[in-house]
Amino acid sequence: MVLALNTVSGQVSDVPPKLLVHPHFSKYLVEVEQGTKSYNPEMYHSGSVEEKVAEKSKIAQLIDKWRDEDEQEPQSNIDIEEEN
Judge whether 79 lies within some domain: no
Q: Is pLDDT of 79 > 80?
A: no
Judge whether 64 lies within some domain: yes
- Report pTM: 0.63
pLDDT at 66: 85
Judge whether 80 lies within some domain: no
CA pair distance 3, 1, nearest whole angstrom:
7
Q: Is pLDDT of 84 > 60?
A: no
Closest residue by Cα to residue 7 from 22, 26, 28: 28
Inter-residue contact 6 to 28 (CB < 8 Å) = yes
Judge whether 83 lies within some domain: no
Question: Count of domains in the chain?
Answer: 1
Judge whether 62 lies within some domain: yes
Label residue 20 by pLDDT band (50, 70, 90): very high
Q: Is pLDDT of 78 > 70?
A: no
